[in-house]
Structure 1
Amino acid sequence: MNPFQIKEAPVVYDVAIVGSGAGGGMAAYMLAKAGAKVVLLEAGGYFDPADPKYITQLKWPYESPRRGANTTRPFGDFDAAWGGWQIDGEPYSAKTGTEFHWFRSRMLGGRTNHWGRISLRFGPDDFRRGSLTGVGDDWPITYEDVAPYYDRVDKLVGVFGSKEGIRNEPDGHFLPPPKPRLHELMIQKAAKGIGIPVIPSRLAILTKAINNERGQCFYCNQCGRGCQAYADFSASSVLCIPAIKTGNVTLINGAMCREVTTDPKTGLATGVSFVHTGTMQEHTVRAKTVMLGASACESARILLNSKSALHPNGLANSSGVVGKYLNDSTGASRGAFVPALMDRDRYNEDGVGGMHVFTPWWLDNKKLDFPRGYHIEYGGGMGMPGFGFGFGTENMNGKYPTANGTMKPAGGYGSGLKEDVRRFYGAYVHMAGRGEPVPLESNYCEIDPDKVDKYGIPTLRFNYKWSDYEVKQAKHMQDTFEEIFHAMGAIPMGNKPGPETNHGYGLEAPGKIIHEVGTVRMGKDPNKSALNAYQQAHDCKNLFVVDAAPFVSQGDKNVTLTILANSMRTSEFVIDQVKKKNI
């Protein structure tokens, strides 16, 4: 008799995958195409951006029931972001004096429905930071190991960009990049004059059709809402839905994973236990192999909760490193008003859903007081105006220059207000740095001994602090932003962030950039890592982790392209090992 009344499925699947984002979605796609019978567990609901039930693309701001004054979603009423940093009934905590903000996505495709589509390859140096700098650790794999999979991912998902020949910003197989918009041309010219490169962005958006199943971008600048043409990459539309159409994938939505079940004699994974979020009943699916792609912190939580006599510290955790070395991208930003962009002619300047140009890391850290670099993302232009449109004249005593050189107060009401809004429309730029932190063992997540969520599953408690390295990096970002602003004749908005601002120089709180990695790190030494070079658990040969948890370090790049490439590589390894009867 089962005292918990757990309902076990009679079917034994070839593979059970937890999470349907970049890692889980790629694994489902690869394994289904290879003929494996897969059960895909997603804690959130079903989502297809082409289904009329979910379409929010091309709606006007005034169609929001709140007119944009408030929102039910973290990035706006219309964005494809189901979840957030705080979810009712799913708490988490932080140790005293520390801070971490944990974003959970609750939808098919996960965060890939609302990400920025920035698709940068890690470079050769990013895989060997320890040996190059003496700070941090090397990965057990090299760029050469991952490069063939980057190539295949580029061709599968579609990435635009340009060949630049930058050694640690490797080129890929690119579609044509969109032309820079006016503010981006100004940034490019100003930055070039002071020795800062600005090159075409590398985004997973189809500027050119690549197959009959996906359309071409029509430049509505609303990728974050989910593209009904499938012109941008989301795991839901490009990986999960095609995988399901093979007939080899059983998708279970509303599956909140509790633990990976294991055999009491061998310690091997036997399946996954989950609570159905609709019925609140516990279920177990059985599988020959288990792959976790639930996101870095959620995968760590599942493993730490998967305790047994043979795995007393949690599954894959004989080394004690599960949950440790958590790190998120650094982030700092600044905006500016550009007088030269006032009184612009109106035309459609939407473009793709994101920046058309960016700045890759361009300096030598050996000559700086922090050991890791960052890239710069640029915003601006005549996009769709939203709620709270401002004037950006704070540093000019609330006035702006007219055509005859006199200063005129901005704002007011009536016709004067309308005139000023039109005058300032499109006259702003924004810069955001996204950088690499140094992974620390002291930054971690662990099971909170006193709390469970509404499903009865023990929750996470975080311990995270930025080091001086990240604070100094943020200071460099702010100095660089101002340098570019001044070179283009822009007026920075507000006061320059100093050491007292946020976590230092405007540095965002840990977790706010939503790039967390590193909680189930890979490595050559089983005493110091949880996984091997193929993201396979040292302690459990039929368990794999395919999200960003295996990452040894962050890189000064966004992580999604590397998740996709690594998951593809791991999936092919699983297929090979099954054929050889090793798992």
Structure 2
Amino acid sequence: MSFQIIEQSTKYDVCIVGSGAGGGMAAKILADKGFKIALVEAGPNFDPANPEQRTQLRWPYESPRRGASTVRAFGDFDMAYGGWQIDGEPYTKAPGTEFDWFRSQMVGGRTNHWGRISLRFGPLDFKRKDFDGKGDNWPIGYEDVRPYYDKVDKLIGVFGTKENIPNEPDGFFLPPPKPRLHELYLKKGTSKVGIPMIPSRLSILTKRVNKKRQACFYCNQCSRSCSVYGDFSSSSVLVNPAIETGNVDLFTNAMVREVITDENGKASGVYYINKEDGKDYRIKAKVVILAASACSSARILLNSKSTTHPNGLANSSEVVGKYLHDSTGASRMAFMPELMDRKRYNEDGVGGMHMYTPWWLNDDKNLGFSRGYHIEYWGGMGMPSYGFGFNTEFLHTLAPQVLGDRKAGGYGVGLMQDVKRFYGSTLGMAGRGESIPRAENRCEIDSQKVDKYGIPVLKFNYKWSEEEVKQAAHMQDSFEAIIKSIGAIPLGDKPGKETNYGLENPGRIIHEVGTTRMGADATTSVLNEYNQAHDVSNLFVVDGGAFVSQADKNPTWTILALAWRASDYLAEEMKKGNI
């Protein structure tokens, strides 16, 4: 290396890069087993109970930007340090690519900001190729992962109900919160059109699971991360307890440049740049675990070149970075006259939906697309805002019976009266679906550009196929049917082909996975069934990169289960002297 390296004196059993769902879980399990851990995080330390960091229960006027999203992607009070763009840390896109990459650099990563939707993959989700002939099967099945889903449920806590739906496995559930008024209307409407709607499965405590975590008190601000640890964030539920064992040294503001290898090509630690002093450091370890996020871990591997690994570490298959895929997403909003002029009461509930629609058409092979989606809903009496079309002709065109000849909005008393009348009368829905992994959708190193730390950046190549576009069209048809069934009025025109039916850009749903996928064949995959690199036995990847396919479920619960499974396997292999 051409730069001066400051070497840490300790040689750790394990160096874990990234402290989100996968890295936090690996740190917790391995620290509990007595291993000495270096936990390396690109951002600062974070604890939502820290008064200097807490944003929960703060008013919009306490933000210097009144809550606007000029600094953080979802507003000043959203608990994600980062966003779609980070100053000095760019990424590039190939022509025709619209991929948007979200990064959250802080202890706990993105788990400090997410919907806490905690769904297990089902038996079909691990073996989709057997069903539709597309993509690839996982080298493992549901029965391999189920014991770890069970452990995650019990350790972290998730509410829900047992429904006995074949590909929506039940778990160990806490009591779910009651539906809110808009959800009762939606439930009535979905029943009319044959679309199921069941209680959500969110990792938010409706009952205490241990003395350190309180139950949810229904402030509806989970995106701010919970100061009483009532929801799941890796920082408070996994990393803090791991550190309390005395077996974890936490390195913050540490941007990992590459994984170091020895003369035999085995991992021996990592190089990182300290963001505070700008100097380069080396951490030595017997085992390296990457959990920096699917794309960040791929970037580290591709930048870890040596004479033994000329294509990048663990990349003899040349698959690292390939098969990148994100969930599909499309949405609609509606105005419901029956919900106008509501009585004022607190129905905030948890910071997410109390009910959702699981995919209901697994057995229908005549849809024109191969993979399914679930539907998420929102609405209710959250913090009011100026809203959806005041000072336009929209409401007069579609609902003159509501307003008569009077215009909506304006200012002064008229505006206040309208805000009160419309408060709580809007609702929305969004589909989150499964895309089919394809090798041509990928991230790779851009040899022409580096970030402010001198590290080559990622270049994205990604396009939706007709499969995903047709799926979005079906989402919109479902939304229209639901909106009509409850007597609501759609806000805006139904998206058409010209906008891919409202299909969001790849990456916008922040569920990217697949860049270091597992498989039984070392020539077509990066990892084995235990998240261990085929090429390097003392290297593991425990973030979403290991996924062979995404399913229509959010990935976090599966990342957690696989990280626990990989950690148990690693511990046994180390005790046996195999690693």
TM-score of the two chains, using structure 2 as the length reference = 0.98
Which of residues 528, 532, 538 in structure 2 aligns to 1:536?
A: 532
Counterpart mapping for 1:193-204 below 5 A: 193-204=192-203
Output the CA distance in 1 between the equivalents of 2:38 and 2:393. Answer: 55
Q: Which position in structure 1 is the counterpart of 2:254? A: 255
The yes-or-no answer on 1:429 pairing with 2:444 is: no
Distance 1:389 1:481, change over 3 A: closer
Q: Which position in structure 2 is the counterpart of 1:549? A: 545
The yes-or-no answer on 1:514 pairing with 2:545 is: no
Amino acid across the alignment from 1:539: D
Counterpart mapping for 1:280-319 below 5 A: 280-319=278-317
Output the CA distance in 2 between the equivalents of 1:11 and 1:417. Answer: 64
More displaced, 254-263 or 359-368?
359-368
What CA deviation, in whole Å up to 9, does each residue of 1:116-150 have, x standing for no partner?
Answer: 10000000000011122101100000000000000
Amino acid across the alignment from 2:471: Q
Output the CA distance in 1 between the equivalents of 2:69 and 2:159. Answer: 34
Output the CA distance in 1 between the equivalents of 2:33 and 2:385. Answer: 46
Quick check: 2:396–2:404 contact (8 Å CA) kept in 1? no
Which of residues 460, 465, 468 in structure 1 aligns to 2:466?
A: 468
Output the CA distance in 1 between the equivalents of 2:374 and 2:150. Answer: 22
Q: Which position in structure 2 is the counterpart of 1:18? A: 17
Output the CA distance in 2 between the equivalents of 1:493 and 1:483. Answer: 14
Output the CA distance in 1 between the equivalents of 2:163 and 2:527. Answer: 34
Q: Which position in structure 2 is the counterpart of 1:329? A: 327
Amino acid across the alignment from 2:512: E
What CA deviation, in whole Å up to 9, does each residue of 1:431-488 have, x standing for no partner?
Answer: 0100000000000000001011000101000100000000000000011001000000
Q: After TM superposition, give the deviation of residue 402 of structure 1 in Å.
A: 5.8
DSSP 3-state at the match of 1:366: coil
Amino acid across the alignment from 1:447: I
Amino acid across the alignment from 1:481: F
Give the superposed CA RMSD.
1.4
Counterpart mapping for 1:384-423 below 5 A: 384-386=383-385, 388=387, 390-391=389-390, 395-397=394-396, 400=399, 406=404, 408-423=406-421
Quick check: 1:68–1:387 contact (8 Å CA) kept in 2? no
Output the CA distance in 1 between the equivalents of 2:62 and 2:399. Answer: 32
Quick check: 1:336–1:392 contact (8 Å CA) kept in 2? no
Q: After TM superposition, give the deviation of residue 386 of structure 1 in Å.
A: 3.9
Q: Which position in structure 1 is the counterpart of 2:342? A: 344
Quick check: 2:390–2:410 contact (8 Å CA) kept in 1? no
Output the CA distance in 1 between the equivalents of 2:193 and 2:478. Answer: 10
DSSP 3-state at the match of 1:505: helix
More displaced, 311-320 or 380-389?
380-389
Distance 1:532 1:128, change over 3 A: same
Distance 1:104 1:200, change over 3 A: same
Quick check: 2:205–2:230 contact (8 Å CA) kept in 1? yes
DSSP 3-state at the match of 2:546: coil
Output the CA distance in 1 between the equivalents of 2:317 and 2:391. Answer: 53
Q: Which position in structure 1 is the counterpart of 2:375? A: 376
Output the CA distance in 1 between the equivalents of 2:162 and 2:272. Answer: 46
Q: Which position in structure 1 is the counterpart of 2:366? A: 367
Q: After TM superposition, give the deviation of residue 387 of structure 1 in Å.
A: 6.0
Q: Which position in structure 2 is the counterpart of 1:564? A: 560
Equivalent pairs: percent with the same residue?
Answer: 66
Amino acid across the alignment from 2:229: Y
Distance 1:543 1:131, change over 3 A: same
> Matched residue pairs, number?
578
Output the CA distance in 2 between the equivalents of 1:407 and 1:171. Answer: 52
Quick check: 1:215–1:229 contact (8 Å CA) kept in 2? yes
DSSP 3-state at the match of 1:289: strand
Distance 1:138 1:278, change over 3 A: same
Output the CA distance in 2 between the equivalents of 1:554 and 1:219. Answer: 30
More displaced, 65-74 or 189-198?
65-74
Q: After TM superposition, give the deviation of residue 398 of structure 1 in Å.
A: 5.8
Which of residues 513, 519, 525 in structure 1 aligns to 2:521?
A: 525
Distance 1:164 1:391, change over 3 A: farther
Instruction: Extract structure 1 runs of 4+ deviating beyond 6 A.
Output: none
The yes-or-no answer on 1:205 pairing with 2:204 is: yes
Counterpart mapping for 1:13-412 below 5 A: 13-264=12-263, 266-363=264-361, 364-386=363-385, 388=387, 390-391=389-390, 395-397=394-396, 400=399, 406=404, 408-412=406-410
What CA deviation, in whole Å up to 9, does each residue of 1:68-93 have, x standing for no partner?
Answer: 34432111111111001100000100
TM-score of the two chains, using structure 1 as the length reference = 0.97
Output the CA distance in 1 between the equivalents of 2:386 and 2:12. Answer: 49
Q: After TM superposition, give the deviation of residue 99 of structure 1 in Å.
A: 1.9
Output the CA distance in 1 between the equivalents of 2:149 and 2:399. Answer: 48
Segments of structure 1 that go 5 or more residues without pairing to the other structure are: none
Quick check: 1:365–1:371 contact (8 Å CA) kept in 2? no
Segments of structure 2 that go 5 or more residues without pairing to the other structure are: none
Q: After TM superposition, give the deviation of residue 242 of structure 1 in Å.
A: 0.7
Q: After TM superposition, give the deviation of residue 4 of structure 1 in Å.
A: 1.8
Q: After TM superposition, give the deviation of residue 400 of structure 1 in Å.
A: 4.5
